[in-house]
């Protein structure tokens, strides 16, 4: 009998600027290398989702994030781990994104989503953005 792995709590930011949102490309040496994703990361012990997101964006992009409401969440099983991923509407309160952790980043429109290969766990979020837009 196979053991069910407990999902790792992960948070992600839908950072909107006008009619575009921030998409980040994973480093080539990491799992799911060179796939695109929403910036974010694992929630550490004692952190709330928004606190983790503020910390991750400071570490990965050198920006101060203002975190709004949770938009939606999904659980996705990768071959190596299962994640419970929550997407938060967010905006950059201070600073401009810098490439610290990621290979690349782009501000893209909902219409451009198909031009980028995103991580599988993000697919439900992308469908919601295509359906409802960024507002």
Confidence (pLDDT) at 134: 72
Q: Can you give the residue range of the structural domain that contains 61?
A: 8-132
Confidence (pLDDT) at 4: 54
What is the H or E stretch that residue 25 is in? strand 20-25
Residue 55 counted as domain residue: yes
Confidence (pLDDT) at 5: 65
Residue 3 counted as domain residue: no
Q: At 22, which CATH number? A: 3.90.79.10
Confidence (pLDDT) at 1: 45
Confidence (pLDDT) at 135: 57
- Grouping H, G, I as helix, E, B as strand and the rest as coil, residue 81 is coil
Dihedral of alpha carbons 14, 16, 20, 24, sign? negative
For 1-21, give one letter per residue: b (16+ CB within 10 A) or e. eeeeeeeebbbbbbbbeeeeb
Domain count, the chain: 1
**For the chain, which residues score pLDDT lower than 70?**
1-5, 135
Residue 120 counted as domain residue: yes
């Amino acid at each position: 009998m196979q053991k069910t792995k407990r999902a790792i709590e992960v948070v992600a930011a839908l950072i909107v600027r006008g009619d575009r949102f921030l998409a980040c490309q994973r480093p080539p040496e990491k799992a799911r290398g060179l796939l695109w994703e929403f910036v974010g990361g694992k929630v550490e012990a004692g952190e709330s989702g928004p606190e983790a997101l503020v910390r991750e964006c400071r570490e990965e992009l050198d920006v101060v994030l203002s975190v709004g409401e949770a938009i939606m969440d999904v659980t996705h099983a990768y071959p190596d781990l299962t994640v419970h991923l929550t997407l938060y509407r967010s905006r950059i309160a201070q600073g401009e994104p810098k490439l610290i952790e990621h290979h690349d980043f782009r501000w893209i429109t909902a219409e451009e989503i198909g031009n980028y290969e995103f991580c599988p766990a993000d697919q439900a979020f992308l469908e919601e953005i295509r359906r409802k837009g960024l507002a």
